[in-house]
Amino acid sequence: MPPHQANGLPAGHEADDYFHTNPPPKALSSHQSLAREFIQYHLENSPRRKVVLVTSGGTTVPLENQTVRFIDNFSAGTRGATSAEYFLQEGYAVIFLHRQFSLLPYSRHYSHSTNCFLDFMDEAEDGRVIVRKEYQDKMRRVLQQYHHAKDNRLLLLLPFTTVTDYLFELRSLAVIMQPLGNRALFYLAAAVSDFFIPRERMEEHKIQSRDNDAGGQGSGASRQLVVNLDPVPKFLSTLVQSWAPKGSMIVSFKLETNPSLLVSKAEQALKRYHHDLVIGNLLSTRKWEVVFVTSDGEERWIRVPKARRSKSISGVEELVGKAERKHGMEHVDLEGGTVTEGMEIESLIVPELALMHTKRMEQQS
């Protein structure tokens, strides 16, 4: 019998209902075709190829159907875009389901305001636009890796915007990935909203701010906007039980801000959804440490060595280590070393996962 949710409905019911009462994204069928072609190509040309679905970036919660305003979250898609590059390096084909305009693999090195591409360029004496000398080596490396991924059809980029778009895309992709069996890996790094406004309660037009204007959930007299949100169904159990390929590996992320909650919340998620691994991270230390929590009670911390930690304006380095519950467990934390470039924690996470995935496949064969 399938496990039951807190509301008494079997897992899956809530999710089914969600898909009947909320509209799919316009691009869904074209994304489905692209994904089918992508999977088919790899099944035919490299039958041993492992394929990972990386989800990345935040999801929006629109307040109006013709959306002017929406609720959003902080995620820029750094975790997802960076991880996708390391998965490609590990030989995976990558389906990159990302929030539109969030960071993308490879171009992330030269995009957004922190790495504005214009700062990497110069005008030569003969008027040609060139890459500045000090950036040549890195840009060549990035360009080569990007071309390798493109030329070998190893990277499929699929954008979404709202939380509903995301759930429709996730369901379709998981089902399309079924022929991959245990070679499929799910790496769910997108920051998915827990709340949304169901279609039937959503305003069609822009919510008006004045007392005598039409429409709006807000109370006109006080000019407050009171927004009533429903919980998003817990789709992870449905992903595990019915959408994803049998034998596939499913890894989800758990984000917390309170160090004393992180490990227990990760354990709870694992117990509730029966998947393979929860990677826990704190908002303030996520670029330097994560914890792998598995169903055998393991709590394994992965940390960037102190000397290799990139500086971060929003990060709080004193909090590194504060969420650790079981001391004295195995660490990947190589202290010391020379300070070169900041090390990306995804360069530690992804090879570790690739290894776990391979071992799991070997055990199943």
Residues that bind ligand 9Z3 (CB under 6 A): 75-79, 188-189, 191-192, 236, 252-255, 269, 281, 286
Our CB check for ligand 9Z3 shows the closer of 25 and 77 to be: 77
Please give the Cα distance from 236 to 238 (Å, whole number): 5
User: Least distance in Å: CB of 363 to ligand 9Z3?
Assistant: 25
User: Least distance in Å: CB of 301 to ligand 9Z3?
Assistant: 15
* Residue written as token pair 């998915």: 192
Our CB check for ligand 9Z3 shows the closer of 189 and 244 to be: 189
Nearest to 80 by CA among 231, 358, 286: 286
Please give the Cα distance from 22 to 109 (Å, whole number): 36
Helix boundaries (H) for the chain: 13-21, 28-45, 78-89, 136-151, 163-176, 235-238, 262-273, 346-364
User: Least distance in Å: CB of 257 to ligand 9Z3?
Assistant: 10
Nearest to 334 by CA among 348, 318, 319, 349: 348
User: Least distance in Å: CB of 187 to ligand 9Z3?
Assistant: 10
Our CB check for ligand 9Z3 shows the closer of 35 and 279 to be: 279
User: Least distance in Å: CB of 153 to ligand 9Z3?
Assistant: 26
* Residue written as token pair 């996708």: 84
User: Least distance in Å: CB of 290 to ligand 9Z3?
Assistant: 8
Our CB check for ligand 9Z3 shows the closer of 83 and 203 to be: 83
Our CB check for ligand 9Z3 shows the closer of 42 and 99 to be: 99
> Which 3 state secondary structure label does DSSP give 318?
helix
Our CB check for ligand 9Z3 shows the closer of 142 and 293 to be: 293
Phi, psi of 20 (to 5 degrees): -85, -25
